[in-house]
């Protein structure tokens, strides 16, 4: 009976782990998030101590990619938007209102935008859910629940 309970507990835990996106917690105060995995990447904003961010699954060692919070400023060229809808098959979302800013996301034809501001040839939009920002790997810690391995040890050895 105990074995059945352990297997049930383990299968529920593994299902929960698979569904929950990996997160990191900010361990420093006023930590910059950038458009590129480099100190030369444009500053997209700052996050505070204990803020949680969702991992985007990329790293280069010094920086980790996270999905940008929705308050981050993102920009698209106005000429490719009609009534808040993306017209071309693909459209780059940038960290600032200029072609020199880094690309933080790509939108598809038909995507609806939440436009915040109109600035000459550019539109400031709410950050799309796929917008990626980079944060120093030294200033974050992985947030996690109890690992399935510890449940396995508990069931096998108890």
Distance (Å) of CA 146 to CA 137, 141, 151:
22, 15, 8
- Confidence (pTM): 0.76
Contacts of 59 (CB under 8 A, 6+ apart): 65, 137
- Helix then strand then coil, in percent of the chain rounded to 5, is 20, 40, 35
Query: Is the distance from CB of 123 to CB of 47 less than 8 angstroms?
Result: no
As averages over each run of 10 residues, the pLDDT of the chain (158 residues) reads: 38 53 94 95 96 89 94 97 98 97 97 96 97 96 60 34
The rounded distance, in Å, linking the Cα atoms of 134 and 120 is 28
* C-alpha span between 14 and 72 (Å, rounded): 33
Could you give the domains of the chain?
A: 1-72+131-158 (2.30.30.40), 74-130 (2.30.30)
And the tokens for 56? 């985007």
């Amino acid at each position: 009976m105990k074995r059945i309970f352990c297997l049930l507990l383990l299968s529920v835990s593994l299902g929960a782990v698979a569904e929950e996106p990996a997160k990191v917690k900010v361990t420093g105060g006023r930590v910059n998030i950038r458009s590129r995995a480099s100190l030369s990447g444009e500053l997209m904003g700052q996050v505070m101590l204990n803020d949680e961010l969702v991992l985007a699954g990329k790293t280069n060692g010094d920086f980790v990619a996270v999905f940008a919070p929705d308050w981050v400023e993102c920009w698209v060229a106005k000429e490719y938007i009609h009534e808040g809808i993306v017209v071309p098959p693909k459209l780059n979302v940038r960290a600032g209102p200029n072609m020199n800013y880094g690309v933080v996301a790509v939108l598809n034809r038909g995507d609806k935008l939440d436009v915040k501001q109109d600035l000459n040839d550019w539109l400031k939009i709410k950050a799309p859910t796929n917008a990626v920002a980079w944060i120093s790997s030294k200033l974050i810690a992985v947030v996690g629940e109890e690992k399935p391995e510890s449940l396995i040890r508990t069931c096998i050895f108890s």
